[in-house]
């Protein structure tokens, strides 16, 4: 059994509170990142649908309407660029989510270790 004075116990309790606040802050960031990820995935789906529509239109009009086909092909290219841009954002947010989950796990571990130290005293 570890002997600790009141100041040490108070310090450890304050540390537990501080770690709990940090964990809640990180969980808030994780929720925000997950919401952003959902919005980005919806945006990606819309951009992919737009790209598919433009590609289909380009195929339909290619034979008889060369100029219109070029316009639709350009629209498909722009939509494809948007898809890639959104996919890059999704990858970034997924990395953020992964990092936040790791930080939360570390915060939970620190809380547990601090509780153990406090309870041992």
Residues 53-99 have pLDDT tens digits of: 988 888 877 666 777 777 788 888 888 888 899 899 999 999 999 99
In a domain, 85, yes or no: yes
In a domain, 57, yes or no: yes
Number of domains present in the structure of the chain: 1
Q: Residue 64 has what pLDDT?
A: 67
In a domain, 41, yes or no: yes
In a domain, 115, yes or no: yes
In a domain, 20, yes or no: no
In a domain, 74, yes or no: yes
In a domain, 76, yes or no: yes
CB 111 within 8 A of CB 23: yes
Other Cβ atoms closer than 10 A to 104: 18
Other Cβ atoms closer than 10 A to 103: 17
Range of the domain at 89: 33-120
In a domain, 2, yes or no: no
CB 51 within 8 A of CB 83: yes
Which of 15, 33, 9, 19 is closest to 107 using CA atoms?
Answer: 19
List phi, psi (to 5°) of 78: -65, -40
Distance between start and end Cα atoms, the chain: 6
């Amino acid at each position: 059994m570890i002997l600790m004075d009141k100041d040490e116990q108070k310090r450890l309790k304050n540390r537990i509170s501080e770690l709990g606040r940090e964990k809640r802050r990180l969980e808030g960031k994780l929720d925000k990142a997950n919401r952003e990820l959902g919005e980005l995935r919806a945006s990606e789906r819309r951009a992919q649908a737009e790209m598919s529509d433009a590609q289909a239109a380009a195929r339909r009009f290619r034979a008889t309407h060369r100029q219109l086909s070029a316009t639709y092909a350009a629209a498909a290219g722009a939509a494809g660029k948007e898809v890639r841009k959104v996919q890059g954002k999704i990858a970034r947010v997924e990395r953020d989510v992964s990092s936040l989950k790791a930080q939360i796990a570390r915060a939970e571990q620190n809380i547990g270790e601090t509780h153990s130290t406090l309870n041992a005293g």
